[in-house]
Amino acid sequence: MPAQQYSRILLTAVAKMKPSGLNVLVIDENRIRAAIIEEGLRDAGYDQLTVIDDMHGLARRIADLNPDVIVIDLENPNRDMLESMFQLSRAVKRPIAMFVDKSDEASIEAAVEAGVSAYIVDGLKQERVRPILKMAISRFNAFSRLNRELEETRGELENRKVIDRAKGLLMRSRGLTEEEAYALLRRTAMNQNRKIVEIAQSLVTAASLLDPGGKE
């Protein structure tokens, strides 16, 4: 196997394992999410914690850091590389298990669902690691929720801008007041059983087609 190269690394990893206190490594290209997880883990008392958000030279840095537990986002393209490092450790009879408990389907499902995976040095008691995964799962979920809300807010802002532009068009071309323009949009939307923003978008699109050079 290519074992020889990485087993060297793994052997050192095993030799340097501390009797107490877990050395946790968080790998996530998304800095904000990484910070959220870091905060959660620090609050829970994991102070031997490293966060890597730049994937450059990852293999070497993992070897140097020698972590007991690795938490990594599921979508990270470096997971195959990471797992190959563990697979190679088979050769030195100290395999590293993936996830907290491979027989625990529910925790695997929750982790994949949340978009996180975790790896632990084999021989580590599962009870010691389970809280880390639980924390990571809940923080990943919280992050997704935040992101969703942000997207929705952004969408609403966009909608409002389109409606404002449509109102402006109507006010200028038909001499309506702002309220009249809005009422017309709303009435049209109701008659056509569509959303106001859709009517507004059609109007803005049509205006730009009819007068590509003009400002609405």
Q: Nearest distance from residue 95's CB to other proteins, in Å?
A: 10
Q: Nearest distance from residue 106's CB to other proteins, in Å?
A: 10
Shorter beta-carbon distance to other proteins: residue 24 or 88: 88
Shorter beta-carbon distance to other proteins: residue 5 or 192: 5
Of the candidates 4, 131, 141, the residue with the CA atom closest to the CA atom of residue 69: 131
Q: Nearest distance from residue 30's CB to other proteins, in Å?
A: 13
Q: Nearest distance from residue 66's CB to other proteins, in Å?
A: 18
Shorter beta-carbon distance to other proteins: residue 32 or 81: 81
Binding site for other proteins (CB under 8 A): 1-5, 55, 57, 59, 74-84, 87-88, 90-91, 97-99, 102, 105, 108-109, 112-113, 117
Shorter beta-carbon distance to other proteins: residue 47 or 75: 75
The number of beta carbons lying within 10 Å of the beta carbon of residue 121 is 23
